[in-house]
Amino acid sequence: MDRTQPHIVHVSGETETPSDPIDTSYFRKKVEPWLSAIFQTEHLSLLTGNGFTSAIACEANASPVTMARVKFGCAHETALDEYAKTAAKAMGREEANIEDQFSAALALLPGLRIIKDAAAAEWEAAIDRELGSFIRTVLSTERGIRSGLDYERIKDHAIARDIIVSFLMSFASRAASRERLHIFTTNYDRLIEFGCDLAGLRLVDRFVGALEPEFRSSRIEVDLHYTPPGIRSEPRHLEGVVHFTKLHGSLDWDYEKPRLSRIPLPFGADDNHPGISKTPRESVMIYPNAAKDIETAAYPYADLFRDFSGALCKPNSALITYGYGYGDDHVNRIIADMLTIPSTHLVILGWGDAPHNQVAKFVQRAGHPHQVTLLLGKHFGDIRHLVENYLPKPAIDPLTLRMTELLERRGWRPKDPDRVDPKASPP
């Protein structure tokens, strides 16, 4: 597939490319109505990966998080790097990244302790040092995004703040008769949480509490409803609420056995913030062990992945992924299971499939091509183009809907139903 041009893969499996590779009006007529229909399925989920943070960082003129390998400077490092490379190849990637290294290092450390190797203390210090450095890199990206929210990359166009708000609201604006949007992310940063704060969205997750929210395994279908005055029927959904799950943990999750709590670490905190642990390998709950499925059975990841499978693997469910590279087998397995249900659908949005063809490999392994829509390429992967041209506008807009119905009753139909001009007069 030519990654320099946008491609639409329809549910029939046929690929269509126009004569002009950047003909936005051509693509909009086909993509926007299709996405609008998918967004109003009975169950809707959104999965974001590092590509989402990188896209917003680009719009905010900030530096994205790098996954480049590091040097621990300890004994057995050559063997560790070989092990990490082998693990990466097993996942379909030619080169190991920093997560593969941390996974190998955290597996090596208990073995050194068992044989009472003197290098164990050296590795403990090295893991804390490099993991702390990685956390500060993520916080640096958060700071760059926060300071660049009003950065205008293209003159007279939306700023980064508007793009992230419009992106999230396109998904979160669900009809009252539909189940809540469920957002999942494999990222350690807090960009989703920050964006929801900007958009005024309330997040419902497994943490309960005001001062030190604590992770609860007992959460069962918690939601927010209200009862309109004079209405005796069932309560209605409160607008602007989404369910949220961080599959790989977060920078601000602190584990102090037996409690897992969320600490008050600001978005883009300074490197010397007291909330940053000096021994992150023991307390910070992030999950760089993507190659080890056994870890997903441990607390709290068993509950998180139970939420993921429960949200996806049900009839009339749709999943949209953006910025996720399909490099985590434990995540891919659940998505593939979802596709075994005939009424489900998967939409993959991204810049392309480079460099390891992970998307193509997943689609081929999972099968069910009629239930998959691919929107790949620079044109669709650019979050600005995506928001401005292809993602449906917030569906809950009663005034606009009523105005459109009134104008149609009077015999006037706008050329573009999505762009009704209230100042225009009927012919």
**Class at the top of the CATH hierarchy for domain 7-63+155-393:** alpha beta
Q: For residue 403, what are its two tokens?
A: 């105005």
pLDDT in the model for residue 47: 98
Residue 214 forms beta bridges with which residues? 208, 261
Domain positions in the chain: 7-63+155-393, 77-145, 397-427
Nearest CA among 81, 80, 72, 77 for reference residue 125: 72
Question: Would you say 97 and 69 are in contact if contact means Cβ atoms under 8 Å apart?
Answer: yes
Q: How far apart are CA 48 and CA 189, in angstroms?
A: 12
Q: How far apart are CA 119 and CA 113, in angstroms?
A: 9
For 143-197, list the strands marked E by DSSP: 182-185
pLDDT in the model for residue 24: 84
Largest Cα–Cα distance in the chain?
87
pLDDT digits (tens, 9 = 90+) for 256-298: 878 889 999 999 999 889 888 888 888 888 876 434 444 455 7
Number of other CB atoms surrounding residue 337 within 10 Å: 14
Q: For residue 350, what are its two tokens?
A: 């991204």
State the amino acid at position 213 in one-letter form.
P
Q: How far apart are CA 184 and CA 199, in angstroms?
A: 17
Reported confidence tier of residue 227, pLDDT bands at 50, 70, 90 = confident
Q: In what order do the strands lie in the sheet with 241-246?
A: 15-16, 7-9, 372-376, 345-350, 317-322, 43-48, 182-185, 241-246, 202-204
pLDDT digits (tens, 9 = 90+) for 124-163: 999 999 999 999 999 999 999 999 988 777 666 778 999 9
pLDDT digits (tens, 9 = 90+) for 14-70: 444 444 456 788 888 889 999 989 998 999 999 999 999 999 999 999 998 888 888
Question: Would you say 378 and 4 are in contact if contact means Cβ atoms under 8 Å apart?
Answer: yes
Nearest CA among 21, 28, 12 for reference residue 372: 12
Question: Would you say 260 and 128 are in contact if contact means Cβ atoms under 8 Å apart?
Answer: no
Nearest CA among 295, 291, 281, 276 for reference residue 131: 281
Q: How far apart are CA 176 and CA 183, in angstroms?
A: 18
- pTM of the model as a whole: 0.85
Please report, rounded to a whole number, the percentage of residues in the chain having pLDDT higher than 70.
84
The full length of the chain comes to 427
pLDDT greater at residue 418 or residue 25: 25
**Cα 372–376–382 angle (5° rounding)?**
130
Question: Would you say 236 and 228 are in contact if contact means Cβ atoms under 8 Å apart?
Answer: yes
If DSSP states are collapsed to H, E and C, what string results for 86-143? HHHHHCCCCCCCHHHHHHHHHHHHHHHHHCCCCHHHHHHHHHHHHHHHHHHHHHHHHH
pLDDT digits (tens, 9 = 90+) for 324-356: 988 888 899 999 999 999 999 999 998 876 556
Q: How far apart are CA 21 and CA 162, in angstroms?
A: 26
Spell out the residues 6+ positions from residue 295 whose beta carbon is closer than 8 angstroms to its own: 287, 289, 301
